[in-house]
Amino acid sequence: MTAVTPVSVLRREQPARRGLPIEARNYLAALALAAAAATIAIGLQPEPVPWKHFVILLLVAPAVQRFAEHGPGNQVFHSGLAFTVAAVLLLPPELAVLVCIVQHLPEWARQRYPWYIQTFNIVNYVLSALAAALVWRLFGAGTTDTGAAAVAAAACCGAVFVVVNHTLLARMLRYARGRTLAETRLFSVDGLAGSGSLAAIGIVFAFTVDRDPLLAVLVALPLLLVQRALTVPLLRDEASRDHKTGLLNTRALERAAEQELERARRFGRPISVIVCDVDGLREVNNKHGHLAGDAALAAVADTLCDELRDYDLCGRFGGDEFVVVLPETALDEALEVAERIDRALAARSVATGRDSFPVALSTGVATLTPEHGFSLKALLADADATMYKAKAARATGLA
């Protein structure tokens, strides 16, 4: 059976913003203060140190953390989560916090992420670990030797870690990149299954490392399978995205637009489309080179994303053609959106190594009517015809 991606997942994603918006900075500062205060409070109640476990996790967690999968929306999934959960079960909370910090440092040095990305990753892991440690101390008695009750408590501990981790990350993605909860996919089946599997491996590792170290090594081997499984959302996302602009490709846009047309038909709601064609893209390629042409396409894509709503659909439909689907939008509103896009693009210029040049669009707008027969093909053909009239008028100096 072929999996059908819901429209909510196929909607365009905001491009990552430069720097960190003030709302996201305040959120990060609040989380950092909370993590520091909680760590200090826990450190005032020292516990015996299981040095063997501490050394093992201090070596293994950073090594595994380096194997990361970059998923949809520029999110990163780390297999090191398994050993963070194991640290919560095996170590005093303050040492588990230390493992959270140390495991991110080699990756930070290698990847050279902006300071705020890795700082948030560390703070997120610390708070998730402390929340899980609280559950473990309350219900697991802090030991892996009490049988079924401890296993159940450990499962709750792993679940708390994943939920807190995903919740904090979802809120940061909202503040920093404007992504909705659905767009982050953190609480989708794939998102929860991946992190849940890593937590489960960490739990089993913690329960077996003392009883049989060789068995603990074998338990950790499925991390390779989970690592490969984490690529599934990425592959699915790549199959629906245009590689030059990050927008929906033709097939994904058509599939999502058909669903929106069916909803408009069922509930009698308006829906409009905008067809955009980049003016003179061939001349840009010939004069400035194909990299400049790609930059022009990216500038158009960024402008469209900036000017559209969260529930609009946007895709690259061909070499220099873009299509926007506007649910709940009548013709006059769609014309206003098209004009706003034109103005925003006119304010941009694409820079090359030597100079810069403007990018312009010819646009056509059409709104669904009974004459279209609720056919996407007919609706696009109507908008396409309007767009070519605008292009011809501009070429003859009439527009």
Q: Which residue has the higher pLDDT, 2 or 342?
A: 342
| Residues 262 and 162 occupy one common structural domain | no
Domain limits for position 188: 9-240
Domain boundary, last residue among 240, 270, 290: 240
Categorize the per-residue pLDDT at 15 as very low, low, confident or very high, splitting at 50, 70 and 90. Answer: very low
pLDDT in tens, 162-186: 999 999 999 998 888 777 787 777 8
Categorize the per-residue pLDDT at 5 as very low, low, confident or very high, splitting at 50, 70 and 90. Answer: very low
Range scoring the smallest mean pLDDT among 139-143, 198-202, 227-231, 365-369: 227-231
DSSP 6-24: -HHHHS--PPPPSS--HHH
| Residues 34 and 95 occupy one common structural domain | yes
Average per-residue pLDDT in the chain?
80
Residue 46 has pLDDT above 80, yes or no: no
Separation of alpha carbons 319 and 308, rounded Å: 21
Note whether residue 1 is domain-resident: no
**What is the structure's pLDDT at 224?**
60
For the four alpha carbons of 140, 142, 147 and 153, in that order, the dihedral sign comes to: positive
| Residues 150 and 259 occupy one common structural domain | no
165 in Cβ contact with 88 (< 8 Å): no
| Residues 234 and 262 occupy one common structural domain | no
Categorize the per-residue pLDDT at 350 as very low, low, confident or very high, splitting at 50, 70 and 90. Answer: confident
Q: Which residue has the higher pLDDT, 132 or 233?
A: 132
Q: How far is CA 123 from the centre of its chain?
A: 19
Q: 163, 103, 168, 169: which is closest to 135 by C-alpha? A: 163
122 in Cβ contact with 100 (< 8 Å): yes
First to last CA, the chain: 50
Winning range, highest mean pLDDT, from 103-117, 123-137, 218-232: 123-137
Categorize the per-residue pLDDT at 319 as very low, low, confident or very high, splitting at 50, 70 and 90. Answer: confident
Split into its structural domains, the chain has a count of 2
Domain boundary, last residue among 187, 206, 240: 240
Separation of alpha carbons 345 and 359, rounded Å: 7
| Residues 91 and 186 occupy one common structural domain | yes
Note whether residue 143 is domain-resident: yes
| Residues 185 and 95 occupy one common structural domain | yes
* Per-residue CA distances from 303 to 14, 194, 298, 340 (Å): 10, 34, 9, 10
Domain boundary, last residue among 240, 259, 276: 240
Residue position matching structure tokens 């994603």: 13
| Residues 53 and 156 occupy one common structural domain | yes
Note whether residue 278 is domain-resident: yes
89 in Cβ contact with 157 (< 8 Å): yes
* Residue 374: CATH number of its domain: 3.30.70.270
What's the token pair of residue 132?
């899980």
| Residues 41 and 140 occupy one common structural domain | yes
| Residues 177 and 42 occupy one common structural domain | yes
Q: Which residue has the higher pLDDT, 171 or 109?
A: 171
What number is the average pLDDT over the span 27-51? 85
Note whether residue 388 is domain-resident: yes
| Residues 149 and 254 occupy one common structural domain | no
| Residues 235 and 254 occupy one common structural domain | no
Q: How far is CA 392 from the centre of its chain?
A: 40
Note whether residue 37 is domain-resident: yes
Note whether residue 3 is domain-resident: no
